Structure 1
Amino acid sequence: MAQDEIESVRKERLGVFAIALMIIAASAPLTVIGGGATTAFTVTESIAVPIGYVVLTIGLSLFAVGYAAMSRHISNSGAFYSYAAHGLGRPMGLGVSIVALVTYNCMQIGLYGLLGFQVAEYLGHSVPWWIVAMGFVIIVGAFGVNRLDFSAKVLGVLVAIEFLVVAIFDVAAFHNPAEQLTAKPILPSELFTPGIGAVLVFGVAAFMGFEQAAIYSEEAKDPKRTVARATFVAVLVIGLFYAFSSWALALAVGPERIASGSISPEEAGPPMFFAFVAANLGSFMTNLISVLFTTSVFAAVLSFHNAIARYVFSLGREGIMPSVLGRCRTNGTPWVASLAQSILAIAVIAAFAIAGSNSGQGPLYPVVTLFNWLTNTGAMGLVLLMVLISLAVIGYFRKGKRDTGLWSRLIAPLISLVVMIVIYYLILKNFNILLGQEKASTATYILPLVLIVPGLIGVFWGFLLKRISPSVYAGIGQVNQDNR
């Protein structure tokens, strides 16, 4: 595609606040505290979840240092894909693009399973979960072909309400703890207790989406500053909020009760959260938070949809995928890529619906399979991507300092590389626990390959393009670069 024919998303639309909201929405704050943190406490029987979030915030902030430094020189909707192409070579860039697409699709489509289950539960399962999920695919798809700043406004309202109700819960928990007011869950000494590996594994999924700022760089008002600032704002707000709110959750349940493993299966997970809300905040807040649980997941799904559409758009624009996927509407939205993602989501939901019809697992099927399998695979994919991008940052600045200090171009990325490798190892080691399995099963081994095999195919595809289509190969990850 000639340079003067290159499609572009609408520019100079989003500021720091709007992009940060897109990122925070993807992490689904209410769902993380009411669902993710409660599950982490139950499964690990460790009260170190709050301090675990602090450690992850530090680790991801280190990753963000090099990531943000690179964003000042490269503005591309492909983000990870483009960064890897510049720092590790075009074939690796193409492999990373496939891993990123699988990662984000797993997370987004997995969330449709939870969304379908939640609404079907409210309706007494009079409507099948998969019909509900497909209905939400259509709604999200309608947002996806609209202007992105409209999505940002909707997400802003939803995220603000989520923060408000979780803050009310926090105040109530500190005011009326189940046992006693204690700082133990936030003490660094808890990092050296058994189960900390599993705590970090559960915690990393809560940050899914924090790296999305660079995806919107072409639509940012000032990419060289906006992307970096939005990334740091998002990771710090998410990390500190989760640390404080999970501390409140530990107080609401009782640290000693968590550590003793005396929580029954009926109480485990979200019921721990809702039991405290019902007892201390009344039926109105219980019903409100139940509804907000759904809007929280919806906000995350919408955020991931927008990110995926821009990845696909970038690959289509550069001729890696069919060029039709690189088309935009007059309002600057990548409508073909958005539509393609919606069709894929419907196809996967349909496949799980057919498989679940004879599973014998009843209404919980979309949660224990579609949601659990895919979102945990997505979390694993995110960590793998951060390992590769930490290497890409080092490789990129090795070619030229570009007025970037040693801390940003080497030291911080190197530390983040080590941290991410450790977390990736812990995920692999504990993957059966994440899937809710006592012992490893076929899914435990197949799901990691769902990420790795397509990535390797992408690398091979890159080398093949070098031979059969040099012009397409030359353009991998290069649109809108700034080599200063």
Structure 2
Amino acid sequence: MSATTDPSVGTRKKLGVASITVMIIAASAPLTVIAGGATTAFSVTGSDAVPIGYVVLALALAIFAVGYAAMSRFVTNAGAFYAYAAQGLGRPFGVGASLIALVAYNCMQVGIYGMFGFQVSMLLTEKLGWDVPWWVPVLVCIAIVGVMGVNRVDLSAKVLGVIVLLEFAVVLIFDITAFANPAEGFTAQPISPAALFTPGIGAVLVFGIAAFMGFESGAIYGEEAKDPKRTVARATFSAVLIIGAFYALSSWALALAIGTEKITGGGITPDEAGPPLFFDFIAQRIGVLFVDITSLLFITSLFAALVAFHNAVARYIFSLAREQVLPRQLSAVRNDHGAPWAGSLTQTVLAAVVIALFAIAGAGSELGPLFPVVTLFSWLTNTGALGLVLLMVVVAVAVIGFFRRDARGVGIGSRLIAPLVSVVVLLLVFVLILANFNVLLDQAEPDLTTFVLPALVIVPGFIGVAWGVWLRRAKPAVYARIGHGAEHPIEAPVTTR
């Protein structure tokens, strides 16, 4: 088996619209969003506007996708946001965006391991009586994800496709049952536009945006797409419309199943709020066996998201290393099918180190088995979501910059109006996330983490810009390739692996 740092390996072009759409949806983890994210959003915000909130966010992201898709026709790079920022705003901003992306995607990927470890550990305890520390199944999962990451990406897409279809099937069965058995009678209030003008809508949007994280990842697979000029755009629009409609419908079903007063926190204890509401309804209306099936699929939903975000990180590392912004050795890809094995291995090692640190820190914690959820999952996934929203703001501005001097035949709606609208909307969401970050972390009062965690994704952006300016002066040849590596690949020797 051999590997190369040449990204132009002919066997890389394997992904079609369906495959990339599946990878995008898998990162969003639909079952996890409905069972965990939506139920928690209802409980914490105390608002029944969660379904219409998903509709608004889907429309906002679809508007963002108009300019994003237009630029994807002219820029094909595994670094996606990095390359877009570099070509639209300048190379220093591209380096800044790349560091934000690396931190954000790693936070999302590693953070999800916290929920995965908790769910598997609890399942083994309940069903088999095994007392397994949360980090043990996580380390096993890291190894499996790592193996998939160094193999053919279309294999990952097929595995994730099966998981995503099963997730949709389970949630749709829940939806049908919920609409047939509403707790307080049928009501369209949660999906009504009037709900947007109720108190707490800002918090609803803050919680809701995390459900869509990963939708922007289509461009990351551009170099592996069969027809990148069309595939990326179609996959992005397909994914955002599918998951937007799915989340709105299913969260509406949740409100009907539980009752709007109860699901928003009325008359229930904190232990009963959130995911237990979803699983308790299934147990009562569909059966305990279906609860077990859903619990397993909840775990596989998390696994699918882990694979999708792992692939995203690996491709960012590959793109940056190809252009020597990172060490050149990290750009090595498999010679037979082009998987970026060096980037994949790097992400695997990083995830294992972070998990080991949290495992040591959590030993004997008063939080008990909830430690990885309260810390690892909550801290890192919210931090990652903040970073990705910031990146979308940067890319929306970059789209305007990219078409400013040469419209390239693209209409004003796609190259100016849509990006401008998305800048305003996404910047508002970013500010709302910052203002409500302690709420996302379930903190009664802000503490050190409220400020340190956002800094983890914001500060690297400034460092990256400064680094890009230094490269312009110190390494002009490297600087010239920033954001353009797919157009001008570096000659590189083949290495054996």
TM range (shorter): over 0.9
Equivalent position SS for 2:316: helix
In structure 2, how many angstroms separate the alpha carbons of the residues matched to 1:382 and 1:101?
10
Contact 1:73 1:481 in 2 (8 A): no
Which residue in the other structure is 2:279 paired with?
274
Q: Deviations over 1:107-158 (max 9, x none)?
A: 0000011111111111226111112111100000000001000000000000
Letter matched to residue 425 of structure 1: V
| Residue 318 of structure 2 is aligned to residue 313 of structure 1 | yes
Which residue in the other structure is 1:465 paired with?
471
Which residue in the other structure is 2:29 paired with?
28
In structure 2, how many angstroms separate the alpha carbons of the residues matched to 1:149 and 1:93?
28
| Residue 344 of structure 2 is aligned to residue 338 of structure 1 | yes
Structure 1: gaps (5+ residues) = none
Contact 1:8 1:328 in 2 (8 A): no
Tell me how far 1:480 sits from its aligned partner: 2.8
In structure 2, how many angstroms separate the alpha carbons of the residues matched to 1:382 and 1:98?
11
Contact 1:68 1:227 in 2 (8 A): yes
Which residue in the other structure is 2:8 paired with?
8
Which residue in the other structure is 1:19 paired with?
20
Q: Deviations over 1:400-427 (max 9, x none)?
A: 1001000000000000000001000110
Tell me how far 1:481 sits from its aligned partner: 4.6
Tell me how far 1:5 sits from its aligned partner: 7.3
Letter matched to residue 94 of structure 2: G
| Residue 268 of structure 2 is aligned to residue 263 of structure 1 | yes
In structure 2, how many angstroms separate the alpha carbons of the residues matched to 1:359 and 1:446?
21
In structure 2, how many angstroms separate the alpha carbons of the residues matched to 1:319 and 1:260?
52
Letter matched to residue 128 of structure 1: P
Q: Deviations over 1:294-317 (max 9, x none)?
A: 000000000100111000000111
- Cα RMSD between the aligned structures? 1.2
Report the TM-score when normalising by structure 1. 0.97
Which residue in the other structure is 1:452 paired with?
458
Tell me how far 1:260 sits from its aligned partner: 6.0
Contact 1:88 1:392 in 2 (8 A): yes
| Residue 94 of structure 2 is aligned to residue 99 of structure 1 | no
| Residue 290 of structure 2 is aligned to residue 285 of structure 1 | yes
Contact 1:46 1:258 in 2 (8 A): no
Tell me how far 1:12 sits from its aligned partner: 2.1
Tell me how far 1:265 sits from its aligned partner: 1.0
Report the TM-score when normalising by structure 2. 0.95
Equivalent position SS for 1:284: helix
In structure 2, how many angstroms separate the alpha carbons of the residues matched to 1:398 and 1:315?
26
Letter matched to residue 241 of structure 1: F
Tell me how far 1:259 sits from its aligned partner: 4.4
Letter matched to residue 191 of structure 1: L
Equivalent position SS for 1:135: helix
Letter matched to residue 16 of structure 1: V
Tell me how far 1:358 sits from its aligned partner: 3.8
Alignment of 1:409-428 (within 5 A): 409-428=415-434
| Residue 309 of structure 2 is aligned to residue 304 of structure 1 | yes
In structure 2, how many angstroms separate the alpha carbons of the residues matched to 1:84 and 1:11?
24
Tell me how far 1:262 sits from its aligned partner: 2.4
Q: Deviations over 1:240-278 (max 9, x none)?
A: 000000000010110132346323212111100001000
| Residue 233 of structure 2 is aligned to residue 228 of structure 1 | yes
Alignment of 1:80-479 (within 5 A): 80-124=81-125, 126-259=131-264, 261-330=266-335, 331-479=337-485
Contact 1:42 1:263 in 2 (8 A): no
In structure 1, how many angstroms separate the alpha carbons of the residues matched to 2:108 and 2:175?
27
Which residue in the other structure is 1:46 paired with?
47
Q: Deviations over 1:431-458 (max 9, x none)?
A: 0000010110100000010011111111
Tell me how far 1:73 sits from its aligned partner: 0.1
Contact 1:113 1:367 in 2 (8 A): yes
In structure 2, how many angstroms separate the alpha carbons of the residues matched to 1:477 and 1:259?
46
Q: How many residues align?
A: 479
In structure 2, how many angstroms separate the alpha carbons of the residues matched to 1:5 and 1:58?
39
In structure 2, how many angstroms separate the alpha carbons of the residues matched to 1:211 and 1:111?
18
Equivalent position SS for 1:439: coil
In structure 2, how many angstroms separate the alpha carbons of the residues matched to 1:334 and 1:51?
40
In structure 2, how many angstroms separate the alpha carbons of the residues matched to 1:128 and 1:353?
9
Letter matched to residue 436 of structure 1: D
Contact 1:69 1:409 in 2 (8 A): yes
Equivalent position SS for 2:333: coil
Tell me how far 1:7 sits from its aligned partner: 2.8
In structure 2, how many angstroms separate the alpha carbons of the residues matched to 1:415 and 1:261?
37
Q: Deviations over 1:160-196 (max 9, x none)?
A: 0000000000000000011111111000000000000
In structure 1, how many angstroms separate the alpha carbons of the residues matched to 2:447 and 2:254?
32
Contact 2:33 2:211 in 1 (8 A): yes
Contact 2:5 2:332 in 1 (8 A): no
Letter matched to residue 385 of structure 2: A
Deviates more, 1:311-320 or 1:355-364: 355-364
Contact 2:39 2:263 in 1 (8 A): no
In structure 1, how many angstroms separate the alpha carbons of the residues matched to 2:143 and 2:8?
25
Equivalent position SS for 2:315: helix
Inter-CA distance 411–282: structure 2 relative to 1 (3 Å threshold): same
Equivalent position SS for 1:123: helix
Which residue in the other structure is 2:495 paired with?
none
Contact 2:52 2:191 in 1 (8 A): yes
Letter matched to residue 19 of structure 1: I
Structure 2: gaps (5+ residues) = 489-497
Letter matched to residue 8 of structure 1: S
In structure 1, how many angstroms separate the alpha carbons of the residues matched to 2:136 and 2:474?
44
Contact 1:110 1:371 in 2 (8 A): yes
Determine what percentage of the aligned residue pairs are the same residue: 62
Deviates more, 1:349-358 or 1:405-414: 349-358
Q: Deviations over 1:71-118 (max 9, x none)?
A: 000000000000000001000000000000100000000001111111
